[in-house]
Amino acid sequence: MSESNIILENVVKQGFLYENLKMISLQSCEFITKLPDLCCPNLEELDLADCKNLIEVHESIGFLEKLKVWNLSGCSKLQILPSTLRLKSLECFKLCFCKRLEKFPNIHPEMNCLKVLDLRGSGIRELPSSLSYLTGLDNLMLNDSKLTNFPVGANKSQMQEEEDIPSAKLRLACNSFNNFSGPTGFQNVTFLMLSGCPGIKGGLDSWMQPDYFPVLSFLSLSDTGIDTIPESISRFTTLEHLYLEDCKNLRHIPRLPQSIKTVDAQNCYQLDTQSRSRLLNQFGEILGILPNTIAQAATSFKFESHTYLILPAIEIPKWLKFNHHQSVGNSVSFLVGPKFSNLVVCVAIPSKYTMMRFDIFINGEKKSTRYTEGAIGNYDHVWLTYGEVYISNPSEENRIELKNASVVPRNPMHLWINVLSTMGKKIQAVLESDADCEEEAIDQPMLDVPKNTTCPALDGFESDSNSGNEAPNPGDGK
């Protein structure tokens, strides 16, 4: 019945049970303004996406015990959901771009099968403390919503208050988790998106605790009003990807867990010099390119495709310049032995760029492209990108080339290269500049950073060999 002019009340006969009906699709039905009691006790999938005039959903829908997938994406006029959800089998719930929906329902403790909750671009301003009953949740997307804080639990009396008085203001005290009788926190959440929520500012230390997110691997706080990252982040031992683009008030980032692989601090202009240096040094330590750490990293660190660090410019440390071999240009060439695998490249990206990229060639054959895209204002950034390079049919000497390095608009680039073999041995590099750029040595520090600019960034790894290693996509909900 998708995109039909159906009058739903004429189809659903009140009092008649549709016991065999398991799937209903009413996608893009513009004449539906209120979803009535469907009388479908065994319904498993309900698709109401893009029902632009849907305003209200009947209370009974919140008690469909067999419902597994419920899609309300794009219901731009939706305002009223059931006051409580007791959907014991629900696995995926989508409310993205429901811009007029300000209140999220209370959650019953038995609703522990939900894995994906998508509230992107919704009008929701606060979440109930009962959200922590969703102990099976894996993927929580709140980006670009009106959210002003994140709930971390509540005691039983508060839970009752929220059920009895819908307008009760939520308390967000982290110690209230101790009063729950069942599992608490978000024990299975690996993917948490809070980007584009400018209302989120301080108070991160009240909920950013490893006990609440013991398996979190992806965290995006981009384009929020935060000014510091809590010290507790160092105890998130599974965190791999941290996105902080356009956090223009952010001043401090502490030491991160050793599990970290990606940090994007693009356009974080207020970030203090100590935080920037700490980040760069920690990546150098993890990657094994700091003195006395090469052998350890070569044996313990797994290089992957979507891994990088980008932050406002600081002085490039001597340990990263690799015997001061450096160039302004768009080409780097070097020879490696048969056991070479790990490549680390540092690029000084000029201001006002929209995309930077370079190609990786092995023995004359293009293997992959490394790129970052976004928009940077009047200040330079440092981009440290790294990954595993696979050499098919290696010989005793193999030529690795980084070619066609370019930015839009075109500007000279400063390239530093560190190359690691699988045994941790550094390989001599020959740096070349193209005909349009003069080669030069750069021993001066880069200008200290910034006051304003715009735009997020995405760093990725395109492989001509289609290896299947795709970068995480914050918007796909996977």
The predicted structure's pLDDT at residue 255: 97
- Give yes or no for residue 376 having a pLDDT over 60: yes
394-425 pLDDT, tens digit per residue, is 899 988 888 877 766 655 555 555 554 433 34
The predicted structure's pLDDT at residue 463: 37
Q: To the nearest whole number, what is the mean pLDDT of the chain?
A: 76
pTM for the whole structure: 0.80
The predicted structure's pLDDT at residue 21: 94
Mean pLDDT confidence for 78-99: 97
Lowest average pLDDT, out of 52-61, 330-339, 420-429, goes to 420-429
- Give yes or no for residue 194 having a pLDDT over 80: yes
Specify the higher pLDDT residue, 96 or 436: 96
- Give yes or no for residue 185 having a pLDDT over 80: no
- Give yes or no for residue 297 having a pLDDT over 50: no
144-158 pLDDT, tens digit per residue, is 999 987 876 444 444
The predicted structure's pLDDT at residue 201: 86
State the pLDDT confidence band at 457, using cuts at 50, 70 and 90: very low
- Give yes or no for residue 475 having a pLDDT over 60: no
State the pLDDT confidence band at 10, using cuts at 50, 70 and 90: low
- Give yes or no for residue 454 having a pLDDT over 80: no
Q: CA-to-CA distance for 443 and 230, rounded, in angstroms? A: 35
- Give yes or no for residue 435 having a pLDDT over 70: no
Mean pLDDT confidence for 316-342: 68
Mean pLDDT confidence for 358-381: 82
Mean pLDDT confidence for 76-89: 97
Specify the higher pLDDT residue, 224 or 412: 224
The predicted structure's pLDDT at residue 442: 27
Burial of 409 (0-12, 13-18, 19+ CB in 10 A): exposed
Domain-wise residue ranges, the chain: 294-463
Taken in order 222, 225, 229, 235, the sign of the CA dihedral is: negative
Specify the higher pLDDT residue, 218 or 373: 218
123-146 pLDDT, tens digit per residue, is 999 899 999 899 999 999 999 999
Lowest average pLDDT, out of 15-19, 83-87, 239-243, 458-462, goes to 458-462
The predicted structure's pLDDT at residue 182: 52
The predicted structure's pLDDT at residue 412: 55
State the pLDDT confidence band at 5, using cuts at 50, 70 and 90: low
- Give yes or no for residue 428 having a pLDDT over 80: no
257-295 pLDDT, tens digit per residue, is 999 999 999 999 999 999 999 999 999 888 877 766 654
The predicted structure's pLDDT at residue 469: 35
State the pLDDT confidence band at 299, using cuts at 50, 70 and 90: very low
The predicted structure's pLDDT at residue 159: 43
The predicted structure's pLDDT at residue 356: 78
State the pLDDT confidence band at 358, using cuts at 50, 70 and 90: confident
The predicted structure's pLDDT at residue 166: 36
